[in-house]
Amino acid sequence: MNHLDNTQSKTIGFIGLGIMGRPMSLNLVKNGFKLVVYDTNPGPVSELAAAGAKAAQSVAQVARESDIIITMLPNSPHVESVLLGDDGVVQNGKKGTLIIDMSSIAPMSSQKCEAEARKNGMRMIDAPVSGGEPKAIDGTLSIMCGGEQADFDEAYPILKCMGASAVLTGKIGSGNTTKLCNQIIVGVNIAAMGEAMALAVKAGVDPQKVFEAIRGGLAGSAVLNAKMPMVLDRNFKPGFRIDLHIKDLNNALETAQSVGSPTILSEKVLDMMKDLSADGEGQNDHGGVARYYEKLAGIRITPFRE
């Protein structure tokens, strides 16, 4: 039996079936894994059950029936509640259970949860993702992991069914530190895109043409290619919400403060996102940061008519 076959013989619990968790869990079902799933929203639970997963009635049930447990939740308090609460994974799961937390949370929270899991004979890695809903759907997420090598090796066949890459970056918490670095770079890139394209429009140059001209050069990036067409099409349907990016940047600032690292650009971008959220745009895609510049400049970043 190879390592994949060995992993597929185990039951995976999946807790958190939101924008990201739902397609991620569906990809595991499609790849032949046996899943027990739970979410406070019954809709995606029913969808997963129809696809072949078992619907659980509680976190505790998932913990009792699973050998490996994946969590995909909004923020640190949610993860700590699900893992460490009285009805949670640590109190109700089996000894030897491997917890794979794929939420984007504070590294210190990952370390706290792992320490408690270890006291109860369980193991844990943190494995946050990047790529948003489109890459969650097609199984090409970038997965950043922290934990022990043996635990990562056990999780790897599972992770590769959800992502194009899975990299162990260090001990527990390192995955979330890596994700915070990712979110700083993504946020600053989107803000720079908005600033540049607002300049183009104000100067009378078609932003569609600017995009076409620069995308193949040094300014080109995955961020530019993903977000600029959405802005041009006025499509701000969330692949990743502004409010979630605010959460990540707050975690980045908290982590940076704890180690004495400067966050000059992150603070500026966070202020932009907070302004947009206050204007009711927090549930829109983070590519909508470009709208911050549109409002300041009094323009719209749209293709020019011929």
- Digit-coded pLDDT (tens) for 153-175: 999 999 999 999 999 999 999 99
Domain formed by 3-171, architecture = 3-Layer(aba) Sandwich (3.40)
Are the beta carbons of 222 and 193 closer than 8 angstroms?
no
Catalytic positions are 179
Domain ranges of the chain: 3-171, 178-297
> Which whole number is the average pLDDT over 62-66?
98
Low-confidence winner among 2-6, 16-20, 252-256, 289-293 (lowest mean pLDDT): 2-6
- Asked if the 178-297 domain carries CATH number 1.10.1040.10, the reply is yes
pLDDT digits (tens, 9 = 90+) for 13-58: 999 999 999 999 999 999 999 999 999 999 999 999 999 999 999 9
pLDDT digits (tens, 9 = 90+) for 171-209: 999 999 999 999 999 999 999 999 999 999 999 999 999
> Which whole number is the average pLDDT over 258-287?
97
Q: For strands 141-146 and 129-130, give the pairing.
A: antiparallel
